[in-house]
Chain A
Amino acid sequence: MRAYTPKDNVQKKPYYTDRYWVAPQVAKHDVSSDDVFAADLDAIKAKFDVLDAYIQVEQMVVVINAADNFAVIEMLKNERDYNQLSEMSAIDWLASEGKFEIFYQMLSMTKRKRLRIKCKIDEKESIQSVEKLFRSADWSEREMYDMFGVVVNNHPFMKRILMPDDWEGFPLRKTYPLQGDEFAAWYEVDKIFGKEAREIIGPENRDPARIDRYDTERFARLGHEVPRGTDITHGEPDTPLVYQENEGVFMIEKFDAQKSVVISDRHR
């Protein structure tokens, strides 16, 4: 296994940069180009601060203050007929801005329109739950907490949803290494056998193609099997494959096609 190197700043230190690659940008259109969205935006603007608003891929994106999230979504649900919260989660912009972006993807069945509410919070900041408005936010907010560590206020059951309850770290943050930090690497060993078993069980093998020719703990050559843990660096005995019908096991014998009877007359 390769030695573990901490990957704390993966966003700042990309191992590969293509100098000539330009990130594709989806075209943004003005909200006034769509009458339905324009009316919705006017309704939001009448009561709340709107930091930015545009239409992307025929969906309106409205950026608001994080403190207004519950009130805005409540208004959209009750007055503007956006009756479904199809998705919500967070995006990690900690490296570039030091903030999380929270987005709420909403759908109006009657208007046949999709609208996205966005807001930004600091790393330690928490956000108001919209679970009272949409039950679908229940698990989404728990997942957001589980994966990003964004704490949600007034949630009925603020608890991890995917990872174990005693897990440390938030896996979808950009600073979290894909193969896990030290806590993750030893999680199952620590939990089942205790920390003192780490040396006996050893570190994880992160190279799934690795095969140790002389490892008799995990591998056995077919036809050359030896008891588990035997040292075979100086060769191993032949243990030819013997099937039980050849071995003379009680009541079991090899099928002999010559001795078998083929019934051709079905009415016999």
Chain B
Amino acid sequence: MAQHQVNYLKDGGLPVALTTIDKVVNWGRSNSLWALTYGLACCGIEMMASGASRYDFDRFGTIFRASPRQAELMVVAGTLTKKHAEFIRRLYDQMTEPKWVISMGSCANTGGMFNTYSTVQGVDRVIPVDLYLPGCAPRPETLQYGVMMLQQKIRRESASRAQKPKRLM
């Protein structure tokens, strides 16, 4: 038996917290965003830097996973070629609902400087995107800010209602 005295009625010592289901679920979801590693080009280097010790995504609960089955956030970091478009769609379909997509950098947003025959002009032609990050390449701070923005977006959503899957069409 513990010897110290706990005043349960003072300083928030009461081991009971009152909240809503929405808030609890969204708190959990937004603070454990597991991201699918999707480094396609140089933005991937910035994404890796964000995950590594200096910027440390782990403190937001964003842990990079190498499998779409374990991920709920897809950070499309880099140029998406038309040859690769079907595979990004396949991986997106394999992620479990609810899922979110961050389009990172100019190439993923609009095709960027690759105004050519072989580049998809924006990943939103293939998968629905929640957040577009500008930059070429965006610095890790930008990606960090983007993830925090996405967290806010998730917290604003109603968790209890059946999630309507996002569809392009």
Contacts and interface: CB of A to CB of B under 8 A. Distances in A.
Nearest to A249: B27
A16 B41 CA distance: 34
A187 interface: yes
Contact of B83 (A163, A225, A239, A241): A163
A200 B111 contact: no
Contact of A164 (B17, B83, B169): B83
B120 interface: yes
A188 B116 contact: no
B119 to A, nearest CB: 9
B153 A225 contact: yes
B122 interface: yes
Interface in A192-232: 192-193, 197, 200-201, 204-206, 208, 217-219, 222, 225, 228
A204 B117 CA distance: 11
**Which range contains the number of B residues in contact with the other chain?**
35 or more
Interface stretch (B1-9, B67-75, B124-132): B124-132
- Interface majority SS on A: helix, strand, loop or mixed? loop
Contacts of B24: 250
A266 interface: no
Given A179-B115, A205-B122, A208-B110, A187 B169 contact: no
Given A192-B126, A197-B169, A187 B110 contact: no
Contact of A180 (B112, B116, B168): B116
Interface of A: 163-164, 171, 176-181, 184, 187-189, 191-193, 197, 200-201, 204-206, 208, 217-219, 222, 225, 228, 239, 241-244, 247, 249-252
- In the A-B complex, list the 7 residue pairs whose CB atoms are closest, starting with the nearest: A180-B117, A188-B85, A208-B110, A204-B121, A184-B117, A200-B169, A164-B83
